[in-house]
Structure 1
Amino acid sequence: MFKLLSLVLYAALALCQNNTNSTTYTNPILDAGGADPWVIRHDGWYYMTFTNNNDVTLWRSKILTNWNEAESRLLFKPPPGLNYSTDLWAPELHNLNGVWYVIFTADPRNDSPPPEVEMWCEYNCPAVHHRMFTLEGQGDDPWTAEFTFKSELDTYDQFAIDGTYFQHSTGLYHIYSCWNRGTDGWPANLCITQLENPWTVSSPFSERQIISVPTLPWEKTPYGRTVNDRLSSNEGPQQLTNPTTGQQFVIFSAARSDNRNYCLAQLELVGDNPMNPSDWRKHQYPIFFQNPEEEAYGVGHASFVKSPDETEDWIVYHGMRDPTNGWGARTIRTQRFTWNEDGSPNFPEPGYGPYQVPSGQS
């Protein structure tokens, strides 16, 4: 009874606040739902992309904590019959050397390979044909830039999802979720390759490196699985740099995205060579995970952005209130985070608020 009353009061509060007032906001920040959010800030605007399966749509808003009134613009819708026509996932918008790029995942046949292909997989592998692709947009403003298809990023004709750019003093890199072999099916690891430019991979297959494998109990689905690697995943990598110390992290998602145990994990680059697996150190515990007391489950696939006045750091992520409904239950949320004394990110417990709005937001 108490739990039911609490839910009613929360709903009433959210309704009264319409998600955001002048000083507080509540999660989620987009009523329509969504997953795999990517947010950046440019010239006073927040820009967001997220998975809708069909195309790459860009949203923009003056405020971070309410996207219900945000404008949207179609950047790219592929024609049918191509290797990137269906199941467009996790698009990200990046500005690299003054040019806008979108990196995204897609496949040719709605995540459904023919039996003659899937029979080679050790486990069921519907995403066997997912690959990484790029768009290019010329112009200072991403809202007016014209985006065109640029390339497929070479992943050696193997499964690849959730790719992102990793910028380092030694060059530009592509980090993405990969399998050991083309028909493994599981586990999903994190791979890194070096880029010649934002649309061209320079590393041959012999130089591709795996920098994280889901070996820890909380990286597996179900939790602690021991019989095989099916459903064990590392995915959704994102670069995060400590603005004070310069420490470089890759924050990634572990376990499975339609499951309550989906969480965030951390790699830190402790050496000078991103292509050397031993230069990466994995934190042994999840750093952002479910909060059953607030019915915040399956929290993951995050991006990071500053408050309007640049004084605060914010995480934008997806989660679900009802974990039994899987992917369809995911909604987009945001919360402020800080930094630990050792320079690593200090994420809050996920929840619904109300929370204080970002500093400088009006």
Structure 2
Amino acid sequence: MNPVLNKTGADPWVIQYKGFYYMTYTTNDDITLIRSKSLVDWNNAESKLLFKPATRQPYSTDLWAPELHKFDEKWYVIFTADPAGDSPPLELEMNCEWNCPAVNHRMFVLQSDASDPWTSNYTYKSTLNTFDQFAIDGTYFEHSSGLYHIYSCWKNKFDGWPANLCITKMENPWTVSSTLEERQIISVPTEPWEKTPYNRSINVRLNSNEGPQQLINPKTKQNFVIYSAARSDNRNYCLGQLELVGKDPLQLSSWVKNNASCVFEQNPEESAYGVGHASFVKSPDGAEDWIVYHGMKDPINGWSARTIRAQKFAWNTDGTPAFPKPGYGPYPLPSGELS
């Protein structure tokens, strides 16, 4: 079964809508949407180009981790990009404490012109306010108190490292309402498994929290953020877990991190390494929960070795997600999917 797409791919985002699964993933040069009736076979999926940026724009290059979301009968694509191929001018980068090629990465939003994700046209809507600071892997976090933006951030503009998780309040899917003072850092890579190399003790360079995704337990309604930790071209890349236990997502005390270990990590016995940047979706009949993620079979080749995989997961008795060991299968088809 795995990989579910026989080509290089990373940062998969999958949703289910009216009989189809829709996927976006990092292509670097554009934003492409594919759709399939099958959750576990995307090789014959239909493909549609949503957005090809013009040159010399803040979002012209390095388009990463696009996600497709529906709000009020419109579809929005939130994505990361930068203006110049991850190569800031020396005069700018020399302000950083560490080498920081990503200093110009920011978050952007596209909007559809209709209510159907496939037939719609998509146009640039806005730059999300991240206070003119590094921002990647942004996602929407929905809560009874409103809509939020959670993304990977630096504490200050020229920190370079570590990469943390930040949250801000939103007025709508393209407008951040929080100020810089109201922005909250809710996770910092302080645990051994969040560092690169593992348990790095010399400095914070390469330590990362990124790729956050909201996950709600369908029975208990516990609200989690599952995020990627360590470094994405490394065999130790894995998933960590935050749980929202308070009423205000902008309060640090409202969040509890599972500090013990990764909740989803490499499985050397099956040569499944560097597993991370996941999204979550139901089986066709809604009976099962599935994780869609990327990983590597050959961790020596870094980013170019990543492929997209999918597996069923369950829930622990305490309401937390119980992820499987990553592997290649074969696994039973998702419940309700025809062979």
TM-score (norm 2): 0.99
**Percent identity of paired positions between Structure 1 and Structure 2:** 70
Aligned pair 1:298/2:274, yes or no? yes
Residue matched to 2:294: 318
Residue matched to 1:345: 321
Residue matched to 2:307: 331
Q: Please, which of 189, 204, 218 is the counterpart of residue 214 of structure 1?
A: 189
Question: Equivalent residue of 1:207, what SS?
Answer: coil
Q: Please, which of 268, 274, 278 is the counterpart of residue 253 of structure 2?
A: 278
Cα shift at 1:146: 1.2
Distance in 1, matches of 2:216 and 2:248, equals: 16
Aligned pair 1:235/2:214, yes or no? no
Cα shift at 1:57: 0.3
Residue matched to 2:34: 59
Cα shift at 1:99: 1.4
Map 1:251-290; keep pairs closer than 5 Å. 251-284=226-259, 285-290=261-266
Distance in 2, matches of 1:138 and 1:107, equals: 25
Q: Which amino acid aligns with 1:311?
A: A
Distance in 2, matches of 1:51 and 1:331, equals: 11
Distance in 2, matches of 1:344 and 1:97, equals: 30
Distance in 2, matches of 1:110 and 1:340, equals: 43
Cα shift at 1:194: 0.2
| CA RMSD between the two structures | 0.5
Aligned pair 1:145/2:120, yes or no? yes
Residue matched to 1:102: 77
Larger-Rg structure = 1
Aligned pair 1:354/2:302, yes or no? no
Cα shift at 1:96: 1.3
Distance in 2, matches of 1:328 and 1:294, equals: 19
Distance in 2, matches of 1:321 and 1:146, equals: 37
Distance in 2, matches of 1:297 and 1:98, equals: 39
Distance in 2, matches of 1:242 and 1:145, equals: 31
Q: Deviations over 1:95-127 (max 9, x none)?
A: 112210000000000000111011011111000
Gaps of 5+ in 2: none
Aligned pair 1:77/2:52, yes or no? yes
Q: Please, which of 182, 186, 200 is the counterpart of residue 157 of structure 2?
A: 182
Q: Which amino acid aligns with 1:361?
A: E
Equivalent pairs counted in the alignment come to: 337
Distance in 2, matches of 1:82 and 1:347, equals: 40
Cα shift at 1:138: 2.7
- Poorly superposed stretches of 4+, deviation over 6 Å: none
Question: Where is the helix percentage greater, Structure 1 or Structure 2?
Answer: 1
Distance in 1, matches of 2:164 and 2:296, equals: 24
Question: Equivalent residue of 2:11, what SS?
Answer: strand
Question: Equivalent residue of 1:349, what SS?
Answer: coil
Residue matched to 1:23: none
